Structure 1
Amino acid sequence: MNRLALRRAATQSLALGAVLAAGLATASDYRNFSIGAGFTPDPQTGTGTTGGARDASQAFGGQCSGSVDTTPDHVITVTSAVNLKLYTTSTTDSTLVMRGPSGTFCDDDSRGELDAEINAVLRPGRYEVYVGHLGQTGQYTLTLTENVGGTGPGPGGDGSIEAYRDFTLGAGFTPDPQRSRGETGGSRDARSFGKACVGTIDTSPDHRLTVTSALNLKIFVESTTDSTLVVVGPNRTWCDDDSHGDLDAEISGMFSPGQYQIFVGTNGNQNGNYTITLTEQ
């Protein structure tokens, strides 16, 4: 039976079961979502059939597992930075892949009972979601809910800190320090900015810094992974891997007035949450 036939056959039973299970939102097969910070209703759900003909590890990297479809089961359009929990409830050993501007996220059993869960701070953009399986095909309900108050333990989990914010700073700026948070990594090789740069970064900057007067600035990252930093300015590019200790990155120096782009990367296969701090020296 092909995928379309499976979808049609599953629609009636899945829709009713998902509504009863979720209780707070109406589920529908292979639906797409448009969400942002404070989205309503919360949670939102969709349903479908797991798996497909594609090996997730070959398509998305060795950290991913299971078989997935060749096209996404759901598309999430994020309209403003949101701290999202995404999880499956299924009749099989389900897996999850989510790919978009904040990176590629994969999971197998974090939800328990062989179900998958992803927690991530997502910047605005388009995200593709694939619901796979290990073993037999099964039916699933996919749930989206906002993580209010952070992603959990570890750096970057403080929901009171604005995600992916931009900064305008000059000598004697207040408050000092200033912070933001986000998700490390991306699909771009940091060496595109020079051989001294390491790790993978996003194709667009995580933060933009406007310096209004000459400033002796320290920028450092505290993260749940091996973080890297790239700062691109009008006259030079700074790169760092472990100068802050505990596999975190730090850049210090005199910043002349101008516009700067800040990329927070990861040196390895695993993305993580981070908090970035800017303080005057």
Structure 2
Amino acid sequence: MSRVLLAALALGLATSAAAQPMATDALPAFGTLSPTADASSVSFAARTGTELTLDAVGCFGYADPSSPDAVVNWGGGDLRFWVRADFDATMLVYGPDGWSCDDDTEGMLPVVDIRSAPAGRYAVWVGAFAPDPMDTDVTLYAGTPPPRPVLNPQAAPEAGTVSAPGGFEASQGSLTLSVSAGGPDPVDSIDIGSDDLYCTGYIDASRPTAALAYEADGGTGTLTIGAMSEDADLVLLVVGPDGTPYCNDDFNGINPMVQIDGPASGAYAVWAGTYSASAGTVDAMLSVGEADLQEDIYIDDYDYEPTPYSEGTYVPLDLDATPSVRIAASETDAGSAEVSVRPAAPNPVQGSECSGYIETAPTAGITLRGDGPFALTASSDDDLTLLVRTPSGGWFCSDDADGLDPGIQIDAPEAGLYLAWVGSFGAYGDDVSVDATISATAGEVVVTSDYDGGVYDEGITQSEGDYDGSEIVGGTGGVSITGGAPQSVEVMAGGTVLNPVAGEACYGFLSRTPSATIEADGMLTVSASADADLTMVVQAPDGTWTCSDDADGSDPAVTVDGGAGTYSVWIGTYSRRTDSVAATLSVE
């Protein structure tokens, strides 16, 4: 939500400025802009070393108060300031009418709009929401507000039109099309015809990336449209024949997928965009299918009388909400905050430690600076749970790491904002609040146990799996191995596909095609090792699926007998990574 505040809030600014006065009259560090009909811009590395806290007016961040980053000389009229950057930026402007500030109008980027701005000098600071982000390169724009982008589904698509008769996937497989994804227009600034739909990213609103001419007769009743790229985090926007919009981000790792149930015949306009403005235009692949790929999550009404069925509820998380609490941690400084939550909604994220009840909006936003590891924890007199979403879209859950307090360890911190939900193991309802402390500190998570005897269950390390989708495809790919004598080969592990196989030991991120294929006559044992936490998925010749995680420390191993033929083996990483991992695959 935009937080643009003008001269009426100058008193609130003065409260913070008293400790760190802003040198509004100083010469700009990076130049002066004098925009006229067209916007002017200047690029620089943001100075984010000194805390600039504007709690009284709802703005936060870190900037250098000694001088503005830029000065804009304006002749009068409507004036806009906006930025393009890869970090969570904030903006502060001082003009003839006083102060204006903003955070997160365009995703993580600020926009300051001043209607009928008087002629004069405007001093501009671009800050960061957290201290010292990894990449501080930023471009500041100033000038007359550009026209609001208009979505044009009827325009000629950039990559052409794909025709798809109903039932095409069963007869010929999914359809694919190479496209260019991304563009200059922020999706959240475009009127897409729905106020309730969460859409983000950057597209070229003037024309679709591609169009789909679909004939529903003979189809499955489901239409899926996906996009993937090796170069960027993608988003999707689809407008159906009746004008209904559909959006998605991070359906499968960082790759989006739109599923339309009961699709109508007609033309579907498809925009493949990038999550980040600085990604520009990237090569991508669109895919069209008819398989039901979404997994519905139903939470029963907790009536524990044995019944053959029950009503269910599903409460989605509000990923668009801006956390009211922000903390930051580095290798030398910890961050913490006192929070109060009303945990009434069941945690909808799946995982062995994903339990309890949370609010739909995140409790806090966390920024991590350094090489890691970092421990994200929550503590209270109550039995707490913790849910964390990484900047790239991965999910982690915890329950009872340190007694009844949860803890999550981030080994390889990512740039950007981690979203954290503090919850409770039991349901409290909307009218009961839970007070807790959420913290981010350098180091490993402390794990303690009150268990006092017996055999400790270290968890399931191998399980059967269930999968009939198309996100991963076996049969060919990777290293080819002929079974027989024990042998070891080097393979590449990891990928961007969140493991789609359902099973108790099915975790991690995989490549679309196998890491290796093994020709064997029957039973075999496959293991993998690397300097990373690995996972494994095996598809046997008889079509069965088997998963493994942590069979030997953090290494997976599978023993399977699926008959004679080709065994497809995926070696994944437990956490999503931007690069593949070299691993050793052993076959016995």
TM-score relative to the length of structure 1? 0.45
- Between 1 and 2, higher relative CO (CA 8 Å, sep ≥ 6) is seen in 1
Larger radius of gyration: 2
TM-score relative to the length of structure 2? 0.24
Of Structure 1 and Structure 2, which has the larger fraction of its residues in helix? 1
